[in-house]
Amino acid sequence: MSRPCPCASSKTYDRCCGPFIEGAQAPATAEQLMRSRFSAYALGKVDYLIATRSADKRSSENREELVQYCKSVQCVGLKIVARQKGGPEDTEGIVTFHASLQANGRRSLHIETSTFAREDGRWVYVDGVVKG
């Protein structure tokens, strides 16, 4: 399949977030994990969203709520506006992004600064601070 990746990278899904979401590859950077989680929201890949939460937060994820959220919200676009660390050699990373969402015919902008960490060598999403 050569559909465009939902994370708005202008790459195809198979060459961008696809291998991460399908489990073929692990993201090397915090930004790759962030992008792939956005794409997972766009595609309703709830298991990936749960699997990429940090261990201490994973049990608080409600699968059914995530499924409903993914159905009710369209992920229209993504822009990464800032990043700190999060590289292949780092163990922590911070990514600030603007996500364009649409729900019930209304557009909204979700602005979040997310913290990522490595657990057993893999990037996971720890927490985010939402602005506005």
The contact set with Zn ion (CB under 5 A) reads: 5, 7, 9, 16-17, 35, 39
Q: How far is the CB of 56 from Zn ion (least distance, A)?
A: 27
Q: How many CA atoms lie within 13 A of 110 on its CB side?
A: 17
User: 129's torsion region: left (phi>0), alpha (psi -120 to 50) or beta?
Assistant: beta
Q: How far is the CB of 30 from Zn ion (least distance, A)?
A: 14
Q: Toward Zn ion, which CB reaches closer, 5 or 46?
A: 5
Cα-based distances in Å from 58 to 4, 62, 126 = 29, 9, 9
Amino acid identity of 62? N
Q: Toward Zn ion, which CB reaches closer, 88 or 132?
A: 88
Q: Toward Zn ion, which CB reaches closer, 55 or 81?
A: 81
Amino acid identity of 38? F
Q: How far is the CB of 13 from Zn ion (least distance, A)?
A: 7
